[in-house]
Structure 1
Amino acid sequence: MFNQLQGNTLTIDSSELRIKQYTISPELYRKGYPAGRGPCGCTSVCCQEGVYADVKERDRILEHREMIAKHMDETQTKDESLWFELDEEEDADFESGRCVGTQVVNGKCAFLDKLGRCSIQVAAAGEGMHRWALKPTFCILFPLEVSNNVIQFDDLLDEEQACCSIDAEFDVPMFRACKDELIHILGEDGYGELETFYQERIRSRTPVHQQKEVV
């Protein structure tokens, strides 16, 4: 499965890996981040222009509108009628097959506060819910995305924002840097399959004296 090991660069071919209903793009284990960098250093630039949510996710957010509004600041609108666009779009990558965009308010997503935090996530955590209980799936996953049932890297901000840029030379493969996000969509068991796949391919192609360095 591995083509070669050169220094700290691990090159893996594009053989298909499927977990549950998803195909896993090879870049998730073929590329990654240097030590100390990754999605946890999010700059919120990806949220500036608004995001897309499944219509069911929109409805769930609106069901909790009063709770979310309590955690908004003066740069945001608490008028829920201005949180989402009116027009829905058909998109098979969303669970219901339909999605809707969030509105841009004061130059940023309606749910983005002045500190660059998502008010949906802040509200959920502040009210004792899981931090992602109300957050749209595609917001949770970025810089991963799901397209035609393929989980892959979204290169929207590649080479523009360090938190959203990956490279063939890495210390941490992308799938490990995005462990929580992948567990959210694949489950603990699905993520375990991905980890096992990676470990087995490394050990099958890496000399024993080098294995500790790359796993």
Structure 2
Amino acid sequence: MQNKFEKRINGFYIDPQIFTAKFVKSCDTCICSGECCYYGVYTDKKEYEKIISVKDRILKSMDDSQIKDPSKWFEQPEVDPDFESGIAVGTEVYNGKCVFLDKQGFCTLQKMAIEDGEFKWKYKPLYCILFPLVIFEGALTIDDEHINRMHYCNLMQNQTVTIFEHSKEEIRFLLGEKGFEELLQYKEDYLNSIKEEKIAIEK
């Protein structure tokens, strides 16, 4: 199937709407309690295996709102070509939220890494990191379906920056420094092309 987007960086097609669509300036769990994490997430099989390998350490950082049985943390694996291994494994929902979300709205996987002096996203699934972006059919695009579930982040009055501005750190993590620099150039070219089209229409 031919992708509808033209630009490709490090194997990912780029949806240029990420440069213009709006979102909240930054994440603040004091406002939303980590609402985007209520529904669980799909992890790559490799991410699942990495998480399970440190299950005993994860248990130490969980609170009384979370299920302590690792056998109930994940759904059954399923085939999905958007994941590096070709296999996706969803996290379960417990007490109305992802099993790894604590009662303060913090991700236990990220909290644990920080507690241990590790890189904050060492254990965090890529799709958690990327939201409000998602990789769909090989393209880095906007997760409209999930955004529409939100009660704070989907309100226009709260959306003050572009998704690109909101997600710079996450995009750099995905694409690497060289890929991110290429994306910056594409952003400039794309926004200039929009201006030129607008000027041409107004003439």
The answer to whether TM tops 0.5 is: yes
Counterpart selection for 1:67 from 57, 68, 90: 57
- Structure with the higher fraction of residues in helix conformation: 2
Deviation at 1:129, TM superposition (A): 0.8
Mapping of 1:1-215 within 5 angstroms?
Answer: 16-33=6-23, 37-41=24-28, 43=32, 44-85=34-75, 87-155=76-144, 156-158=146-148, 160-164=150-154, 172-202=161-191
Deviation at 1:26, TM superposition (A): 1.5
Residues 15, 23 of structure 1: alpha-carbon distance in 2 compared, 3 angstrom cutoff? closer
Deviation at 1:197, TM superposition (A): 2.1
Cα-to-partner distance string for 1:135-188 (whole Å, 9 max, x where unaligned): 111111111000111000001223844435679xx7633212101111121111
Structure 1 window deviating more from structure 2 (62-71 vs 38-47): it is: 38-47
Deviation at 1:99, TM superposition (A): 1.1
Distance 1:15 1:76 in 2: 41
Identity of aligned residues (%): 39
Aligned length: 188
Q: What residue number does 2:201 align with?
A: none
Residues 92, 164 of structure 1: alpha-carbon distance in 2 compared, 3 angstrom cutoff? farther
- Structure with the higher fraction of residues in strand conformation: 1
**AA matched with 1:38:** K
Structure 1 segments of 4+ aligned residues over 6 angstroms from their partners: none
- SS of structure 1 residue aligned to 2:49: helix
Provide TM-score, normalisation by structure 1: 0.78
Q: What residue number does 1:213 align with?
A: none
Check conservation: 1:103, 1:110, Cα contact below 8 A: yes
What root-mean-square deviation, in Å, do the aligned CA atoms of Structure 1 and Structure 2 show?
Answer: 2.4
Distance 2:36 2:194 in 1: 37
Distance 2:42 2:26 in 1: 19
